[in-house]
């Protein structure tokens, strides 16, 4: 883990994330900078695979902060998100003290507390980036609970008392929009929509993430995927897919896109059979022609 | 930041509110604080800072962009691309007829809904929705509201205290053993609860379906009071989400609004295209995953039957069960021979009637016990 640091400007954020092999667009860098500067959580939305979770990870590394991640799912409750008592230990403790009586205060003290991600993040004295991933998967009861945590940055445990954040963690929430979030939660957050990157940036991302890829192949792959996004697909591929695919192409020793290799590896980009059916024959040749034209100037 | 600029931002907030964004004092304060940190040196940074603080959802980005252009860049406001209003292109006759119905005086004779006796009720139960008079429709609304709003259920992952549960409730157990010095005298359990299964309704509101969709929406309006997790869409030539209207307002008004928006009276019903719109936008957000999907339509497809089949297949794969409600199914002689219905049927788990009150009651019962798929 690197030294703890702070950002002076948006350029600072850009450079620091770049050093973590994450290329943010200016808008995302601004959103992160403002979020840090005014101490408000940031809600990131975008299609699957545009790098929402990656952004939080890269930022934590860049800040030299600890990343605490809470993966949301339906039915997520306080016992799994905030704290739980160590019941086995409590029972042993009661047993061991057979003769003398055990007071309730003793039994519900900090040593019997199991800290889950939210409490861990609030109670930490080190810098923390708290990633609340896929908040839309949690149910509304949990969302309501989260509201309280995000507005006051404090957690109340009935048996112990209220724990306040010594230093506010940077909170990043991500959502895939499987459902609309509550307005009250949105009000407490800044918002940023991550869209698919522009071609130039995607080429840069691919070259950064796939070691040993030629500029030409990276360009062709990015152009090909950009072309795919124009088609009417069930699931348009994200940057994550472009990276996976280029990785596969590089592993196969591919120098220029050709129909055969593309057909063999397209499963890394398109994850639905309908989409694989759509992208066939003439469509593939057309996309390859286009991709090769874009990549013609790039060195192999 | 200069006071002048602060005032600029505040006024900009007002512009955004007029454009329909929810910009409260809190968001404005964030914007001003944010700009303080970012500085006003680069137009791009000002744009992103205002956007990240003042916009709360993706749909607002476009309005925001136009307001930003107009306010800060002083470019003349270009009116948004006009979506042709179906009301203007539709033959005026339709409207007049409906308005006339709305304002017609109630008949003088004592046919108040309350006065409908048992046998009249029985008659009404079996009467085709399309053949009902004004008064009967009014009585129908009350009867529909009485249908038991049971929903299909699924196991939730949440645990609740339950005497016959299978998971030990350690929290309560530890606390109760305090009194007995570590001996668990009473064992406490928790078990998984049941939650209502997501219900997605796609309702055909084209001309031929008008009477039936009205009854169905009245029923759904009642059902929505049974809890969240009901999503309703109306379609004709286009698809629109009417959940919000149906949840808050008068269901009849919601139906009229939906019909105005989605029905192009000349073009007929495009079920396949509407399903595609649903799958592309809402299906992709996993709304239909594990849900019970209810399609209310007579299956008269004016578009491409192959497309309808394809989209039904997609829908069917994501859903827990697909129920197709057709008013035509009520007739004994009906056979689903029309191309659209034939293409859709392989992907329908239950194919039921929906032409009278009795069939709605049967549907309610079907929904409450829908446990297994593929039993059409």
pLDDT-based confidence at residue A54 (cuts at 50, 70, 90): very high
- Rounded CA-CA distance A9/B39 in Å is 9
**Rounded mean pLDDT of B231-235?**
88
Quick check: B177 pLDDT over 90? no
Phi then psi dihedrals of residue A128, to 5 deg: -135, 140
Nearest chain A residue to B170, by CA: A87
Q: Which residues of B touch A191 (CB under 8 A)?
A: 52, 55-57
| The two structure tokens encoding residue A230 | 């124009």
* % pLDDT > 70, chain A: 98
Give residue for tokens 């059902």. B223
Mean pLDDT computed over every residue of chain B: 76
Query: What stretch of H or E contains B358?
Result: helix B357-368
Phi then psi dihedrals of residue B305, to 5 deg: -65, -35
Nearest chain A residue to B46, by CA: A30
CA-based angle B157:B159:B161, to the nearest 5?
165
pLDDT at residue B264, as a whole number? 64
* % pLDDT > 70, chain B: 77
- Rounded CA-CA distance B347/A61 in Å is 49
CA atoms within 13 A on the CB side of B46: 16
**Rounded mean pLDDT of B333-345?**
80
- Rounded CA-CA distance A31/B3 in Å is 24
Quick check: B251 pLDDT over 80? no
CB–CB contact A38 B44 (8 Å): no
The set of residues, in sequence order, having a beta carbon less than 8 Å from that of A63 and lying 6+ positions away, is: A4, A5, A6, A16, A127, A129, A170
Q: How far is CA B7 from CA B32, B68, B132, B263, B272, in A?
A: 10, 15, 60, 45, 51
pLDDT at residue B121, as a whole number? 64
Quick check: B206 pLDDT over 70? yes
| Range with the poorest average pLDDT among A182-196, B160-174, B340-354 | B160-174
- Rounded CA-CA distance A255/A247 in Å is 12
A94-100 long-range contacts, CB within 8 A, separation 24+: A94/B174, A94/B177, A94/B178, A94/B181, A94/B182, A95/B181, A95/B182, A98/B181, A98/B182
* % pLDDT > 90, chain B: 10
Quick check: B90 pLDDT over 60? no
pLDDT-based confidence at residue A129 (cuts at 50, 70, 90): very high
Position with higher pLDDT, A204 vs B153: A204
CA-based angle A224:B282:A275, to the nearest 5?
30
pLDDT at residue A224, as a whole number? 94
| The two structure tokens encoding residue B194 | 């049941």
| Range with the poorest average pLDDT among A13-22, B118-127, B173-182 | B118-127
Residue from A190, A231, A237, A278 whose CB has the most chain B CBs within 10 Å, to mutate: A190
CA distance, residue B24 to nearest chain A CA (Å): 9
Q: How far is CA A295 from CA A92, A259, A299, B42, in A?
A: 68, 16, 8, 32
User: Measured between CB atoms, which of A33, A40, A177 is closest to B285?
Assistant: A177
* Helical ranges in B151-232 per DSSP H: 170-177, 210-224
pLDDT at residue B150, as a whole number? 66
CA distance, residue A299 to nearest chain B CA (Å): 32
Q: Is B58 on the interface with A (CB under 8 A)?
A: yes
First CA to last CA distance, chain A: 36
pLDDT at residue A148, as a whole number? 81
Q: Which residues of B touch A177 (CB under 8 A)?
A: 58, 285
| Range with the poorest average pLDDT among B24-33, B160-169, B258-267 | B258-267
| Range with the poorest average pLDDT among A244-248, B158-162, B201-205 | B158-162
First CA to last CA distance, chain B: 68
pLDDT-based confidence at residue B80 (cuts at 50, 70, 90): very low
pLDDT at residue A3, as a whole number? 58
| Range with the poorest average pLDDT among A226-235, B37-46, B84-93 | B84-93
Q: Give the largest CA-CA distance in chain A.
A: 84
Phi then psi dihedrals of residue A176, to 5 deg: -95, 5
Q: At what angle do helices B134-145 and B210-224 cross, to 10 degrees?
A: 30
Quick check: A263 pLDDT over 70? yes
- Rounded CA-CA distance B323/B300 in Å is 17
- Rounded CA-CA distance A130/A138 in Å is 16
Quick check: A251 pLDDT over 60? yes
Q: Is B55 on the interface with A (CB under 8 A)?
A: yes
Query: B292 exposed, middle or buried (CB, 10 Å; 0-12, 13-18, 19+)?
Result: buried
pLDDT at residue A242, as a whole number? 95
pLDDT at residue A178, as a whole number? 74
Q: Is B331 on the interface with A (CB under 8 A)?
A: no
**Rounded mean pLDDT of A272-288?**
87
Quick check: B25 pLDDT over 50? yes
User: Measured between CB atoms, which of B56, B177, B181 is closest to A191?
Assistant: B56
Quick check: B116 pLDDT over 50? no
Tell me B115's DSSP state: G
Q: Is B56 on the interface with A (CB under 8 A)?
A: yes
pLDDT at residue B375, as a whole number? 43
Position with higher pLDDT, B319 vs B147: B319
Q: Quick one: which of A177, A38, A57 has its CA closest to B53?
A: A38
Quick check: A241 pLDDT over 90? yes
**Rounded mean pLDDT of B160-174?**
81
Quick check: B287 pLDDT over 70? yes
Q: Quick one: which of B231, B233, B226 has its CA closest to B261?
A: B233
pLDDT at residue B101, as a whole number? 40
CB–CB contact B58 A98 (8 Å): no
pLDDT-based confidence at residue B265 (cuts at 50, 70, 90): low
pLDDT at residue A99, as a whole number? 63
pLDDT-based confidence at residue B371 (cuts at 50, 70, 90): low
CA distance, residue B56 to nearest chain A CA (Å): 6
pLDDT at residue B168, as a whole number? 82
pLDDT at residue A43, as a whole number? 96
CB–CB contact B178 A85 (8 Å): no
* % pLDDT > 90, chain A: 48
Q: Quick one: which of A192, A206, A273 has its CA closest to A240?
A: A206
pLDDT at residue A32, as a whole number? 95
Quick check: A31 pLDDT over 90? yes
């Amino acid at each position: 883990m690197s030294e703890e640091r702070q950002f002076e400007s948006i350029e600072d954020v850009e450079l620091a994330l770049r050093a973590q092999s994450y290329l943010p667009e200016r808008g995302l860098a601004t959103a992160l900078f403002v979020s840090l500067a005014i101490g408000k959580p940031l809600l990131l939305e975008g299609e699957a695979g545009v790098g929402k979770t990656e952004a939080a990870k890269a930022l934590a590394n860049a800040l030299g902060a600890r990343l605490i991640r809470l993966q949301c799912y339906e039915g997520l409750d306080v016992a799994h998100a905030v704290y739980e008592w160590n019941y086995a230990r409590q029972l042993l403790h009661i047993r061991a003290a057979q003769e003398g009586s055990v007071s309730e205060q003793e039994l519900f003290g900090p040593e019997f507390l199991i800290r889950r991600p939210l409490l861990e993040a609030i109670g930490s004295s080190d810098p923390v980036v708290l990633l609340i991933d896929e908040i839309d998967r949690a149910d509304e009861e949990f969302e309501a609970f989260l509201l309280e945590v995000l507005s006051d940055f404090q957690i109340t445990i009935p048996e112990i008392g209220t724990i306040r954040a010594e230093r506010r963690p940077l909170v990043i929430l991500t959502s895939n929009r499987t459902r609309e979030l509550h307005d009250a939660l949105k009000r407490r957050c800044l918002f940023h929509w991550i869209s698919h990157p522009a071609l130039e940036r995607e080429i840069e991302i691919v070259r950064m993430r796939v070691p040993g890829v030629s500029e030409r192949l990276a360009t062709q792959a990015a152009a090909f995927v950009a072309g795919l996004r124009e088609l009417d697909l069930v699931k348009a591929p994200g940057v994550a897919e472009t990276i996976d695919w280029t990785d596969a192409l590089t592993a196969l020793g591919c120098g220029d896109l050709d129909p055969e290799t593309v057909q063999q590896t397209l499963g890394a980009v398109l994850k639905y059979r309908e989409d694989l059916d759509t992208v066939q024959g003439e469509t593939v040749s057309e996309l390859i022609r286009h991709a090769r034209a874009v990549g013609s100037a790039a060195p192999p | 930041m200069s006071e002048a600029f602060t005032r600029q931002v505040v006024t900009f907030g007002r512009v955004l509110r007029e454009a329909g964004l929810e910009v409260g004092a809190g968001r404005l304060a964030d914007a001003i604080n944010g700009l303080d940190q970012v500085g006003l040196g680069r137009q791009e940074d000002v744009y992103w800072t205002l956007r990240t603080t003042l916009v709360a959802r993706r749909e607002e980005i476009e309005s925001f962009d136009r307001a930003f252009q107009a306010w800060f860049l002083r470019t003349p406001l270009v009116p948004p691309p006009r979506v042709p209003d179906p009301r203007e292109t539709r033959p005026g006759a339709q409207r007049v007829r409906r308005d006339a119905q709305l304002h017609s005086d109630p008949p003088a004779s004592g046919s108040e809904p309350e006065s409908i006796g048992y046998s009249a009720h029985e008659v009404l139960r079996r009467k085709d929705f399309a053949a009902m008079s004004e008064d009967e429709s009014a009585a129908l609304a009350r009867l529909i509201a009485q249908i038991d709003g049971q929903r299909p259920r699924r196991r939730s992952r949440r645990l609740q205290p339950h005497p016959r549960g299978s998971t030990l409730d350690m929290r309560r157990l530890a606390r109760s053993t305090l009194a007995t010095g570590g001996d668990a005298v009473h064992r406490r359990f928790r078990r998984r609860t049941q939650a209502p299964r997501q219900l997605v309704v796609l309702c055909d509101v084209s001309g031929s379906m008008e009477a039936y969709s009205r009854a169905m929406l009245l029923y759904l309006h009642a059902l929505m009071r049974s809890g969240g997790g009901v999503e309703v869409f109306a379609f004709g030539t286009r698809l629109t989400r009417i959940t919000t209207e149906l949840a808050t307002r008068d269901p009849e008004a919601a139906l009229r609004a939906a019909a105005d928006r989605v029905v192009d009276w000349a073009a007929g019903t495009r079920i396949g295209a509407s399903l595609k719109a649903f799958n592309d936008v809402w299906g992709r957000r996993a709304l239909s995953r594990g849900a019970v999907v209810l399609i209310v339509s007579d299956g008269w497809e004016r578009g491409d039957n192959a497309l309808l089949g394809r989209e039904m297949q997609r829908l069917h794969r994501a859903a827990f069960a697909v129920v197709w409600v057709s008013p035509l199914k009520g007739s004994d002689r009906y056979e689903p021979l029309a191309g659209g219905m034939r293409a859709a049927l392989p992907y329908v788990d239950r194919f039921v009637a929906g032409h009278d009150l009795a069939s709605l009651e049967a549907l309610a019962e079907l929904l409450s016990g829908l446990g297994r798929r593929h039993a059409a």
